[in-house]
Amino acid sequence: MLHLFGLIYMFVSLSIVCDEFFVPSLEVLTEKFDISSDISGATFMAAGGSAPEFFTSVIGVFIANNNVGIGTIVGSATFNILCVLAFCTLFSTTVLHLTWWPLFRDVSFYIVSLFMLVIFFMDEKIVWMEALALFIVYLLYITFMKFNVAIESWVKYKVLKFKIEVDESIEEEEDLKNGIIVSKGNVTENPLNNNFPDRPSAEQITGHHEEFHHHHREHHYTPNSYQNGSNVGIYPLTEGENSEDATSTGNNSGGKKQIEAIVDENDTDLSAVKTTIKNQSRDPHHSMKRDESSKTFGGDRRSTRGEIDALKEILEDNEPTPLDMSWPNEWHKQALYLFLAPILMPLWVTIPDVRKEECRKWYPATFILSILWIAGFSYLMVWWANTIGETFRLPTEIIGLTILAAGTSIPDLITSVIVARKGLGDMAVSSSIGSNIFDVSIGMPVPWLLWFGKEAILSDNPVTFISVSSNGLICSVGMLFVMLIVLVIAIAASNWQMNKLFGIVMIISYVIFCAFSVALEMRYIECPLKLC
């Protein structure tokens, strides 16, 4: 029982150190080095969410010398694809609408990674070239994300014959969003849709590129530069738009929810947005001229002020809050405080909280110390999980595929459900699949490459392969591969929507996957994919 309690406590510990210290340090790091949002999202942010799985894999390769890391990553991938998305649909207050491009992009890279993994696992050993090939897939993914908008426009215009014209003034890395277009260092209000519903659909948030560019060509405005380098362009409504509707959007609750959802989805550089809003608040006429006309957004300057007020309120809500160690007043919070104190106190004392302005300069120390704490917690987690497996005579692969996979994915589950409740189906799906791409093409091959490097440098007779011998791991990966393809086909057949029936089916599928994996590992059934 003590080992089981300790295992659960390590799940909580990993979640806290990642959310409270590691991810904030990564955010400061990307800001300091001016790394684009696409690259930082595909690398540093993915690393923050997948750190437990990565260190579990490292410990499995270097210390435990077993497949617990591989099992955890494969199980976590299945949990993210099936359970996380299932809970998103079940807890969402509406049907989740998806757009095909982000799903197509991420699933394509993930399918390639899984297919390569199945091929490499078939002889139950990994050589350094196979590990390097998986790592190269991730480098290609990062490169693709860098030019994502340009590639998307080319595919839709050249291949699918959509009528899309990309304006030269729009940088490749910017996401064209309907409502408010937000990218690192830029905020653009695009009022093509001036009636914001309480819960924005994916189409409303993602926007229609053709409409945007048609509108942009009709009204040419140059974004105005501010001292911090951020740009703001206010695109006016076409003639005949109802100014009263536009005026009300910034003040009603629906407008706030729409803006909040879009700001959250775009991983906004909030400091740049704040400066921009402050400048616009001081000069409401700034960037508002439409040719020689005095008409403004929606025909009334009050609309822009309303949008600014709504954005101000959102930014205050999104202000990063440092860890508060003061004694709470409510009894249930006091009980939780006492439960978490053994984790929080050492972290609070040893790691600088970069969300405090005076500690931001210590982000390298926060980054390194967070990694050390994650490594320590992961070591204890794997140790106690192995002890539980030995007690109940369960293979480490089963422990990794089930218990460790679910435990390390709980932070992703909570985050995705919160996002889905805002109606952001695309963000929830992309987050889950993107995390899996990192796990398979970084979490697995990097520890293997480090092992081969250590052997080549320190050993007189270096090991040329790493054994991944397992009764059912290869079939579990193959089953995940098939489930992913079926999931995409089903979503496409449902007109890119996910409802509660989908959620129930996915949970049942996850239970079947776990039962199938356990049966394979316990040799109740044989895996047909093994070569020998």
Average pLDDT for 340-349: 92
Give residue 212's identity as a one-letter amino acid code. Answer: F
Please report whether residue 193 resides in a domain: yes
Q: Percentage of the chain with pLDDT > 90?
A: 12
Per-residue tokens: 256:
């706030």
On whether residue 256 sits in a domain, the answer given is: yes
pLDDT band, very low/low/confident/very high, at 365 (cuts 50, 70, 90): very high
| Per-residue pLDDT reduced to its tens digit, 263-312 | 444 444 444 454 454 444 444 444 444 444 444 334 444 445 555 555 55
Residues 6 or more apart whose CB falls under 8 angstroms from that of 516 comprise: 472, 475, 476, 479, 525
Report yes or no: 87 and 425 within 8 Å, Cβ to Cβ.
no
pLDDT (tens digit per residue) in 105-161: 888 999 899 889 888 888 888 899 999 999 999 999 989 988 888 898 888 887 776
Rg (CA), the chain: 25
Q: What is the mean pLDDT of residues 170-193?
A: 40
Q: Is residue 518 part of a domain?
A: no
Between CA 17 and CA 124 the distance in angstroms is 35
The answer on pLDDT for 224 being more than 70 is: no
φ, ψ of residue 160 in degrees (nearest 5) = -90, -5
Structural domain contains residue 237: yes
Residue at 440 is within a domain: no
Q: Give the 3-state secondary structure of residue 393.
A: coil
Bigger pLDDT: 409 or 292?
409
pLDDT score recorded for residue 385: 83
How many angstroms separate the CA atoms of 452 and 524, rounded?
Answer: 34
Instruction: Let me know: does 411 contact 431? Beta carbons within 8 Å.
Output: no
Percentage of the chain with pLDDT > 70? 64
Q: Give pLDDT, residue 66.
A: 67
In tens, the pLDDT along 23-82 reads 888 888 888 888 766 566 666 767 767 777 788 788 878 876 666 667 778 888 888 888
pTM beyond 0.95: the answer is no
Least confident piece of the model among 45-49, 229-233, 525-529:
229-233
pLDDT, mean over the chain = 71
For residue 245, give every residue at least 6 positions away whose Cβ sits within 8 Å of its Cβ, in sequence order, or none. Answer: 194, 195, 298
What is the pLDDT, as a whole number, of residue 298? Answer: 41
| Nearest by Cα to 269 from 434, 24, 23, 27 | 27
Give the model's pLDDT for residue 306: 56
> CA 343, CA 17: separation in Å to the nearest integer?
9
Q: How many domains does the chain have?
A: 1
| Domain residue limits at 235 | 164-317
Kindly report, residue by residue over 419-456, the tens digit of the pLDDT.
Answer: 778 777 777 787 788 888 988 899 889 999 999 998 88
The per-residue pLDDT for 313 is 54
Q: How confident is the model at residue 227 (pLDDT cuts 50, 70, 90)?
A: very low
Could you tell me the pLDDT band of residue 335, with boundaries at 50, 70 and 90? Answer: very high
Model confidence over 459-506: pLDDT tens digits? Answer: 888 888 888 766 667 787 888 888 888 788 878 877 888 888 888 888
Residue 290 placed within a domain:
yes
Residue 243 has pLDDT above 70, yes or no: no
In a domain, 137, yes or no: no
SS3 state of residue 491: helix
| Lowest mean per-residue pLDDT among 284-288, 380-384, 508-512 | 284-288
Residue with the larger pLDDT of the pair 417 and 286: 417
pLDDT on residue 32: 86
CB 19 within 8 A of CB 51: no
Predicted pLDDT of residue 231: 38
Q: Is 324 helix (H, G, I), strand (E, B) or coil?
A: coil
Length of the chain: 532
Buried b (16+ CB within 10 A) or exposed e, 346-367: ebbeebbbbbeeebbebbeebb
Q: Which pLDDT belongs to residue 348?
A: 93
Coil, strand or helix at 189 = strand
pLDDT, residue 467, reads 82
What is the DSSP code string of 419-467?
A: HHHTT-HHHHHHHHHHHHHHIIIIITHHHHHHHHHHHHHH-SS----EE
- Kindly state the average pLDDT of the residues 311-328: 69
Does a structural domain hold residue 221? yes
